[in-house]
Structure 1
Amino acid sequence: MVEMLDRGIGSFARIPPLPPFTTPEELVADALPLLDPPSRITVTEAAVRHMRVNLGGRWSSYDPDITPYMIEPQDVTQSRRFKGVILVGPSQCGKTQLLISVSAHAIMCAPGPVQLIHMTKTDADAWVEEKLDPAIANSPALSDRLGKGRDDSTFSRKRFQGVRMTIGYPVANQLSSRSQRLVLLTDYDHMPQRLGPKDAPEGSPFSMAIMRIRTFMSRGCVVAESTPAFPVDGSKPKPSPLLEPHRFPEVKEGIIPLYNEGTRGRWYWECPGCADLFEPTFDRLDYDRELDPGDAGEKAVMVCPHCGLVIEHREKVELNRRAAAGHGGWLHEGRSVDENGRRRLVRINDPELRNVSYASYALNGVVAAFASWAELVERHEIARRSFEMSGDDKGLSQSFYTDLGQPYLRPGEDDDDVLTVEILRNRAVQIDKRIAPDWARFVVTCVDVQGNRFEVTVMAFGAEGERIIIDRFAIHQPPDAAPRARGDDGKYRAVDPGRYAEDAEALTELADQVYPVDGQNWGLKPVAVVIDFNGPKGWSDNAEKFWRKRARAGKGGRFYLSIGRGGFQQRDRVWHEAPERASNGKRARGIKLLNMAVDRLKDSVAAALEREATRINAQHTPCWMDVEHMAELIAEQRGDKGWVKKPGMQRNETFDHSVQALAMAEHLGMNRVNWEAPPAWCLSGLLNPNAVEIARPNDADSAREVPAVPAKPRAISFLRRR
């Protein structure tokens, strides 16, 4: 640095030193490569000549045999026939390397502006620092072309000789008012799918990227790669396996619709035994589902669908290389059908290829170079078994998206026999109302708060999560001690929970209600009463007062206030913690809420209602239940962002109660119980602290503890017993 001095004011400026002297001859020599015509070589050939890649921590020359399935997609980016190249695949299969290879070809062989769009600014900066900059620094040919000026290499821009590469993120101004020859979109499904103002969106990132390459006409190309991240729309018809063998089921947004609009290429192997071609998919892996996930994965093999030949995992590398050499490889849907009515499959350069604007590719996870079949099977089996146990499909959907690179359809959503009231009635268990089954271990009472009543459901749980509703009623009348509980005519007014805090006292005796166990001389009191914290205006304040009063009486552990949290991406399914602020705006002290990830729990309840062949985590419906309450169990349907009421359905309290009961059971630790040696609260018999000896078995009216003092008149009006 050079320091400028002035006698009057002293040191006043520090400027960098001048660059070294450069002769005109050196400037001309540096610019001469820009006058060369574009090199007539493919992206793969350019990558082999000029690019180095990181393999296991060691930088070496690019080897196309490591990911041979990337050769065609990256070479097609230079085709003048297609405006875009779409690649759907699992994580860690080499998709990101595709973008660097295409960029390297533009830098070394076909100069032109390049733009890369990442998910967010933070992710774009991380990609530059962790992937792009090391690739440039370790590839001498690329590094020599990079400008040496201060602003030639930043997080948002790279200036090479004749090439400007910009790195951005998906906002409207990044994809507006610019002309680009190449636009590269990475992790497309994790971008916002609508850019611009919410009230007037400008379009999707892909559609806006297509507008940016118009100036370059047939030389322009948009490349989009991603793992899928959006579920299948189960309401849409399935594609025909004969006429559209490579088409994915309908997905509303993301990269799958783009793939379906393109040539629909899939990767094929040639069987070493019969020489017939087949697509290697996860469904064609053969393993024993009864084994532990790790053992099942170690023994997984591929089976040829034509001759039944068993293919070991160690043969995958050679089969991929043979496929790239012409013994299989990428096959796309053609225009015509054969004599059997099947769509013909053709190569990308075949005249019979469908006349579309995009070359699209879908790679199954079993083909990926960096994933073993043992790992895929182990993770998939763990996720599948978790779903079957809990009904929570978060892990299973992730297995499809990131491990297999396929769109996900929740099991059961494509079944023809959608759950109906008639099906529930036909499956109903024969048991009397207010009687717990002989397998019951504990009981949970759930309360939903409405403007003029309390809706109550009682659920009995057995071992392994088996459960059944044993009582369902509404509390319409306030207790006698409530303000103006009775009018001048002696009649009760309706419950008004938001206005009168005293009305909540009608819930007090729910914790002491005893439910006889079928055929036994004992019954069960609820292990907990779960009350909805949300409700009519004013109820949250009154609910907090009610709970604090129970806590002062030493019964705070029997009553819980629950609150629902929407969305499928909640951190946990259930968590019990104090709110950041109480209902009056002050900091909450001494009170905790049972937080419920309601959409994930509703997945579990819906799955439990479908379980007929197993008792594990099954929710049964009793024969005495009203049709209206059965309808409430199926009043909602699963959407992309959460569960919503079906058109025309108004009531869903029983479904919400089932969520509350499951949340309470999971909070107590039901999923962690060793049922061969269970804790006291879920024992069978009088050793259970909530078990009460009764005088007459199966008599719900006599099933209550003898009170120490005369009991007050009951304030609960039960629904008519069926």
Structure 2
Amino acid sequence: MVMMLDRGLGQLSRIAPLPPFTTPEELLADALPLLDPPSRISVTDAAERSLRVPIAGRWGQYDRGVAPYTIEPQDISQSRRFKGVIFVGPSQSGKSQMLLSVSAHAVTCAPGPVQLIHMTKTDADAWVEEKLNPAIDNSPLLYERLGKARDDSTFSRKRFKGMRLTIGYPVANQLSSRSQRMVLLTDYDHMPQRLGPKDAPEDTPFGMALRRIKTFLSRGCVFVESTPAFPVDEDKARAANPLEPHLMPAATGGIVNLYNEGTRGRWYWQCPDCEDLFEPTYERLDYNRDLDPGEAGDNAVMVCPHCGSVLPHRHKAEMNRRASQHHGGWLHEGRVVDEVTGRRNLVRIDDAEIRNTPFASYAFNGVAAAFSSWSGLVERYETARRAFEIDGDDLDFSGVHYTEIGVPYRRPKLEDEDALTAEVLREHALPLPKAIAPSWARFVTVMVDVQGNRFEVMAMAWGAEGERAALDRFAIHQPPDDAPSAKGDDGKYRAVDPGRYAEDANVLAELADRVYPVEGADWGLKPVAVVIDFNGPKGWSDNAEKFWRKQAREGRGGRFYLSIGRSGFNQRDRVWHEAPERASGGKKARGIKLLNMAVDRLKDSVVAALGRLDTPVNAQHIPSWMGAEHVAEHLAEQRGEKGWELRKGILRNESLDHSVQALALAEHLGVNRVNWEAPPAWCLAGMLNPNAVQLDRPNDPDSARSRPDPDLPRAINFLRRR
């Protein structure tokens, strides 16, 4: 223990010992390596020499043979010819590992400032903690060069001997006023595509990164990698052109458009039989599309487009290895057009005739990825495709294209989608009397759309496997008798004013008690629930909440739902029932649960259901009693890039909104989880259904008897029914 005497403080103890004495010679020896010129070895060679990676639960030496398609992109980052390297590919293909390899090369071979920009600060911190720090700790050459001072290793900065690695996130000040030799952008399509103030954005992250490397002239480089996350821009996408064989369809934003500005490299295999080159893509996988997704994936094979030779999945690693030895590999668009084929020639990256651009760009298809299997890829693709064909919701299907295959998504048109018109719907209308449920009905839902001077109401009958049809459609114009000023001096009712009078909502209470006779049966169905639009004229939200609380106090809160629409195709779910976390304008959040609806995704499903004219499964039938104007409301909107919007000249879409509310309520109740061979009670046909009511006269709701209460003695029930 070290002890000291201080005139002001007295005796001091427990003073940390001083560090060991270091001689000037030792300091000089430690600094001499910084004077070495940059080592002229490739990024891949440096990674194999200095970088350790996790392999099956242990740390082992980096091996270029695991993902050979990453060799050229990461090595070309040191080229004096290109200012940028752009890599588009699926997840779990080794893209992010290239960033570690490039960083390791900068640490051990070519010291200079390097900046890595992640999607968000949270993701950047997680990457440092889970990927970067363990890699440094388990790579002796990297750890040896890491500074040992307290602030040399933080979440935002790593100081090595002779270089600095900065970790940031995409905001304007992170990519401003700093000179960097290398800027690495990871998961580019999940970054904001414009940085700076909303009213005056400065530039894209890629554009701002290019300005950071100008000081280093030809030694500077911006490396960008990402899975695509933007759909095809139908207005800008060009048709296939032999002069641009590797052009990807223009996307609405993101890395795909950066790729198209570059050399447009694609990964090729050489067929072992005919020795011709071809690009392994998902479209060249052959499997039986009629089998179950799992079985179809197990039998998937790659077919050579030249000779038809079949390659099983077990040959994928060998084909990638051969490709890295110039039996295929990366081929880029050249500037010369072949006179025989009329196609632009394909060349290596070092060919003088390569496309004249400052960016080396690469697009890699997921079927050749080292860490994915064809069986899993096909299974996920087919599962998502079939779900899309059934319900029209393509969120999972687009996700397979982005993350599994690594290509921009172009929404396929469903069969006869263009031919779906109001006339076609009326021609295929279901013969059904108004307010009478079809014989296959299992439960009924009622939907209310709130307008400034009326309540628009629709009832819908649901059968097995998602089949449904509208039962009734009407508008409520008059307030209840006990509402304020319900009648004027002339004795006439005023119009409903939902935003002004909370009492007007009371006319909706009786909707839960209506009985809809089942066709040909002596029983009918009460609605399983009523869903009411929470949005509406000013003041309605408060009045809707008062109405729901009143029903809850009477024990009927579970029969009524308040719905609110959430726009956009990337909502967290299709339907969720919860109280809002906060209200707009800084107000206290409401204490009631709302039925949140991802309206754009649900509209996809509704339109798909309307188009299922040849099968009852998940089909929405138009009833024969429905008027032409209400039929047309189902098709009042068209699908855009950001969501569904009213067609030009169309003003009313209540039938579509009702259909969305009905589907959201049914999904919340669990219609997609029902085993129709042994359905729950609320989906039963007959008097065992808790919402079924006996009728004295078939098809006559006025003959409905009150349903027995199981909690009352049998004699009391008998008397009440009398």
Q: TM-score, normalised by structure 2?
A: 0.89
- Give me the whole-angstrom Cα distance separating, in 1, the residues matched to 2:420 and 2:11: 83
Distance, in Å, in 2 between the alignment partners of 1:415 and 1:30 is 73
- The question of whether the paired residues in 2 share the 8 Å contact of 1:523 and 1:691 is answered with yes
State the AA in 1 paired with 2:505. A
- 1:299 paired to 2:299: yes
CA contact 1:239–1:247 (8 Å) conserved in 2:
no
Query: 2:375 maps to what in 1?
Result: 374
1:115-194 → structure 2 map (5 Å cutoff): 115-194=115-194
Other structure's SS at 2:703 match: coil
Indicate conservation of the 8 Å contact 2:417/2:611, yes or no.
Answer: no
**Pair 1:32 & 2:32 matched:** yes
- TM-score under structure 1 length normalisation: 0.89
Q: Hey, what does 2:468 align to over in structure 1?
A: 467
Counterpart residue number, 2:318: 318
Q: Which moved more, 1:5-14 or 1:667-676?
A: 5-14
Give yes or no for the alignment of 1:524 onto 2:525: yes
Partner of 2:719: none
Shift of 1:367: 1.0
Identity %: 72
Residue by residue, what CA displacement relative to the aligned partner does 1:85-114 show, whole Å, maximum 9, x if unpaired?
011111221111111111222222222211
TM-superposed deviation, 1:337: 3.7
The answer to whether residue 289 in structure 2 is matched with residue 289 in structure 1 is: yes
Residue 454 of structure 1, CA deviation: 0.4
1:535-550 equivalences in 2 (<5 Å): 535-550=536-551
Q: CA deviation at 1:42?
A: 1.9
Q: Which residue identity is paired with 1:705?
A: S
Q: Residue 272 of structure 1 corresponds to which residue in structure 2?
A: 272
**CA offsets 1:538-562 (integer angstroms, 9 cap, x no match):** 3233323333444455544433222
Partner of 2:211: 211
Q: In structure 2, what is the Cα distance between the partners aligned to 1:80 and 1:410? A: 40
Deviation at 1:62, TM superposition (A): 2.2
Following the alignment from structure 2 to structure 1, what is the Cα–Cα distance between the partners of residues 166 and 643?
37
Give the Cα separation in 2 of the matches to 1:569 and 1:416. 23
Distance 1:550 1:180, change over 3 A: closer
AA of the residue aligned to 2:24: P
Between the aligned partners of 2:354 and 2:315, the Cα distance in structure 1 is 31
The correspondence of residues 321-332 of structure 1 with structure 2, limited to 5 A, is 321-332=321-332
TM-superposed CA distance for 1:75, in Å, is: 1.3
Comparing 415-424 and 351-360, the one that deviates more: 415-424
Give the C-alpha shift of residue 643 in structure 1.
3.8
Q: Within 1, Cα distance between the matches of 2:384 and 2:129?
A: 33
The 1-side partners of 2:682 and 2:434 are apart by 23
| 1:522–1:692 Cα contact (<8 Å) kept | yes
Mapped pair 1:487 → 2:488 = yes
Q: 1:152 to 1:668 in 2, by over 3 A?
A: closer
Q: Once the 2 structures are TM-superposed, how far is the Cα of residue 413 of structure 1 from its aligned partner?
A: 7.8
Name the counterpart of 1:704. Answer: 702
CA drift at 1:68: 0.5
CA drift at 1:520 = 4.5
Q: 1:650 aligns to what?
A: 651
Alpha-carbon displacement from aligned partner over 1:341-364 (angstroms, at most 9, x marks no partner): 434322222333221221111111
Letter of the 1:289 counterpart: R
Q: Deviations over 1:474-504 (max 9, x none)?
A: 1112233333323333332111112223322
Q: Secondary structure at the match of 1:704?
A: helix
Aligned 1:633-648 pairs, distance under 5 A: 633-639=634-640, 641-648=642-649
Contact 2:414 2:608 in 1 (8 A): no
Q: Which amino acid aligns with 2:129?
A: E
Paired residue for 2:623? 622
Moved more, 491-500 or 5-14: 5-14
Instruction: Pick which of 630-639 and 614-623 moved more.
Output: 630-639
1:608 deviates by 2.1
The answer for the alignment partner of 2:459 in structure 1 is 458
Q: Report the residue type matching 1:532 in the other structure.
A: D
2:201 is matched with 201
Match of 1:677 in 2: 678
How big is the shift at 1:529? 1.7
Matched residues in 2 for 1:147 and 1:16: separation? Answer: 21
Give the Cα separation in 1 of the matches to 2:285 and 2:125: 39
Deviations 1:441-488 (A, max 9, x none): 222110011110001112221110011223222111223333332333
- Residue type of the partner of 2:92? Q
> Hey, what's the Cα distance between the residues in 1 that align with 2:633 and 2:254?
33
1:719 corresponds in structure 2 to none
Letter in 2 for 1:171: V
Query: 2 CA distance for matches of 1:438 and 1:337?
Result: 67
- Give 1:18 shift: 4.3
Distance 1:416 1:705, change over 3 A: closer
- Offset at 1:197? 1.6
CA contact (8 A) 1:234 1:414 kept: no
**Cα contact 1:695–1:703 (8 A) shared by 2:** no
Q: In structure 2, what residue type is equivalent to 1:655?
A: L
The range that moved more, 212-221 or 116-125, is 116-125
1:51 aligned residue: 51
Match of residue 714 from structure 2: none
| Paired amino acid for 1:325 | Q
The residue number in structure 2 matching 1:62 is 62
Q: Which moved more, 1:170-179 or 1:289-298?
A: 289-298
- 8 Å contact kept, 1:269–1:279: yes
Give 1:183 deviation, angstroms. Answer: 0.5
Q: Name the structure 2 match of 1:562.
A: 563
In the alignment, the residues of structure 2 paired with residue 418 and residue 259 of structure 1 have an alpha-carbon distance, to the nearest angstrom, of 36
Structure 2: gaps of 5 or more residues: 707-722
Distance in 2, Cα, partners of 1:228 & 1:251: 9
SS of 2:111's equivalent in the other structure is coil
Does the alignment pair 1:111 with 2:130? no
- SS of structure 1 residue aligned to 2:616: coil
1:605 is paired with a residue of what secondary structure?
helix
Q: 1:220 to 1:426 in 2, by over 3 A?
A: farther
Tell me how far apart the structure 2 counterparts of residues 401 and 582 of structure 1 sit (CA, whole Å).
34
Measure how far apart 1:206 and its partner are.
Answer: 0.8
Task: Provide the C-alpha distance between the structure 1 equivalents of 2:29 and 2:583, rounded to a whole number of angstroms.
Answer: 73
* Contact 1:242–1:341 (CA under 8 A) maintained in structure 2: yes
- How far apart, CA to CA, are the structure 2 residues paired with 1:412 and 1:356? 36
Displacement, 1:241?
5.2
The AA in structure 1 aligned to 2:702 is R
SS at match of 2:152: coil
- Corresponding residue for 2:720? none
Aligned-pair CA distance for 1:686: 4.5
Q: Is 1:86–1:358's contact at 8 Å kept on the other side of the alignment?
A: yes
Question: Which moves more between the two structures, 87-96 or 484-493?
Answer: 484-493
Question: What is the SS of the residue equivalent to 1:280?
Answer: coil
**One-letter amino acid of the structure 2 residue matched with residue 261 of structure 1:** E
Shift of 1:58: 2.6
Structure 1 window deviating more from structure 2 (87-96 vs 246-255): it is 246-255
Alignment-mate amino acid for residue 262 of structure 1: G
Corresponding residue for residue 358 of structure 1: 359
Q: CA deviation at 1:17?
A: 4.8
| 1:378-418 alpha-carbon deviations (Å, 9 max, x no partner) | 33333334434444333323222222222223342899827
Distance 1:17 1:635 in 2: 80
Amino acid of the structure 2 residue aligned with 1:355 = N
The corresponding residue for 1:82 is: 82
Code of the residue aligned with 2:31 in structure 1: it is A
Gap change, CA 1:342 and 1:619, over 3 Å in 2: farther
CA contact (8 A) 2:432 2:623 kept: yes
Per the TM alignment, residue 325 of structure 1 is displaced from its structure 2 partner at its CA by: 0.6
Q: Which ranges of structure 1 fall in alignment gaps of 5 or more residues?
A: 709-722
- The aligned residue for residue 716 of structure 2 is none
Matched with 1:713 is none
Instruction: Give the aligned CA root-mean-square deviation in angstroms.
Output: 3.0
1:234-271 CA distance string (max 9 Å, x none): 45444415343322222222212111221221111111
The match for 2:6 is: 6
One-letter amino acid of the structure 2 residue matched with residue 55 of structure 1: I
2:514 equivalent in structure 1: 513
Match of 1:593 in 2: 594
How many angstroms does 1:2 deviate by?
6.6
Give the deviation of 1:427 after TM superposition: 4.3
Distance in 2, matches of 1:451 and 1:581, equals 26
Measure, in 1, the Cα distance between the counterparts of 2:237 and 2:168. 38
Task: Count residues in correspondence.
Answer: 704
